[in-house]
Amino acid sequence: MSEHVRYIDRTREYYLSQGYKKPYEWAHFEDIPFTALTKPLSESRVTIVSTSDVAIKPTEGKKAEHHLVGNAYSIPTDTPLAQLYSKQEHYDKYATHLDDVNSYFPVTRLQEKVEQGRLQSIAPRCHGVYTAYSQKKTIEVDAPEILRRCREDEVDIAVLTPV
């Protein structure tokens, strides 16, 4: 396996070459929180949080309700897979595609883990966060909103999938 891509270095060089003067400052923290599991996975309820811009297709011309607060929104977990898609444009379009929702928003695969008994249940809502340009807003608005919805749904564990 070859070395992984250093995106921070690569994008800095790329955007300098595109004429941008100020490199993006990626979030960096020394302290990392830790919460241990309080019960077995087989008794746990899971949700997904993703920046894949996954969305529900409009049906019969009617736009789906995503309950947007800040950049945070939700997708009912029982939405048929065929109605989900991604509007995300920040991915490697030269190498791959976003035609398979489960390659970035693993809702069917998690459902299978529930059926196998590895997990107890999947929460009634999964969540998305649109990529913000403000780390401050992500911390002050989006993250607390996702936490609020997770608590409301009695979520025990979260799987996060950045794209």
Partner 1 sequence: MSLVARHLEANGIPTVVIATARDIVETCGVTRLVFVDFPLGNPCGVPFDQDMQSNVLDIALDLLETAEKPGTTLAAPFIWPAGDDWKNTIFTEEQPFLEGEAYDNWMAAKKRYKENKT
Site for partner 1 in 14-43 (CB under 8 A): 14, 17, 26-37, 41
Q: How many residues bind partner 1 (CB under 8 A)?
A: 76
| CB of residue 76 to partner 1, shortest distance in Å | 20
User: Does the footprint of partner 1 cover residue 81 (CB under 8 A)?
Assistant: no
- Tokens at 21, concatenated: 């003067």
User: Does the footprint of partner 1 cover residue 68 (CB under 8 A)?
Assistant: no
Q: Between residue 97 and residue 156, which ones bind partner 1 under the rule CB under 8 A?
A: 97-100, 102-106, 109-110, 112-113, 118-119, 129, 132-135, 138-139, 142-144, 146-147, 150, 155-156
- Closer Cβ to partner 1, 59 or 139, answer by number: 139
Q: For the stretch 81-116, what's the b/e string if a residue is b when 16 or more beta carbons lie within 10 angstroms of its beta carbon?
A: eeebbbebeeeeeeeeebeebeebbbbeebbebeee
136-144: long-range pairs with CB below 8 Å, 24+? 137/70, 137/71, 138/71, 141/69, 141/70, 141/71, 141/72, 142/70, 142/71, 142/72
User: Does the footprint of partner 1 cover residue 8 (CB under 8 A)?
Assistant: yes
